[in-house]
Amino acid sequence: MMEMLLTGPREELFSDSLREKLDVWVAKYPVGQEQSALIPCLHILQDANGGWLSQAIMDALAVYLSIPAISVYEVATFYTMFELEPVGKHKISVCTNISCMLCGSEEIMDHLQNKLNIKPGQTTDDGLITLKEVECLGACVGAPMLLLDKQYHEHLTPEKIDQILQGLAS
Ligand code: FES
């Protein structure tokens, strides 16, 4: 896990390597428009923190971007790609929106729940996998689909799910 300082003057809020990554995005926008870099900055910090965002991280980012903390909370709580609680090493987000539902996402979700012995929103006892149910991920043509960490898997079947899970366990 990458070091985060989270308190102190703006220039000391995050480690040097994190600030370097954040500033790549901040520099893309005019001075005074730092909020535009919010989403990529949240991704960077979430990745650096084992897959989730604490309130301390969000507060530090608000200071870093010179925006109100509520602006960070609004975005972090709106998008399902951001986690506000610790998650497993891997995250499986199953789309159950209309196209995926019509193509069998219910069966996919049932299969995953049975295999992992958890419900959506839960993490396996070994901390390996968090299962989520999400809205359309924009890959309707490949329905039913899921997002495993940052990779899309499409045209899912129970057999494909078994292969995916085997790959995670090995
Ligand atoms: S409905 Fe599932 S990706 Fe669009």
Q: Could you tell me the distance, in angstroms and rounded to a whole number, from the CA of residue 102 to the centre of ligand 1?
A: 10
pTM listed for this prediction? 0.89
Instruction: Quote the pLDDT of residue 1.
Output: 56
CA of 147 to the centre of ligand 1 (A): 11
The binding-site residues of ligand 1, defined as CB within 6 angstroms of any ligand atom, are 95, 97-100, 136-140, 143, 145
Instruction: Please state the rounded mean pLDDT for residues 130-154.
Output: 97
Residues 25-57 have pLDDT tens digits of 999 999 999 999 999 999 999 999 999 999 999
Q: Probe ligand 1: pick from 80, 99, 132, 134, max atoms within 8 Å of CB?
A: 99
- CATH of region 90-169: 3.40.30.10
Task: Choose which CATH entry (3.90.105, 3.40.1350, 1.20.120, 1.10.10) describes domain 10-78.
Answer: 1.10.10
Identify the pLDDT of residue 5.
Answer: 74
Q: Which atom of ligand 1 is nearest to the CA of 139?
A: 3
Residue 9: asked if its preceding bond is cis (omega within 30°), the reply is no
Domain boundaries of the chain, sorted by first residue: 10-78, 90-169
pLDDT tops 90 at residue 6:
no
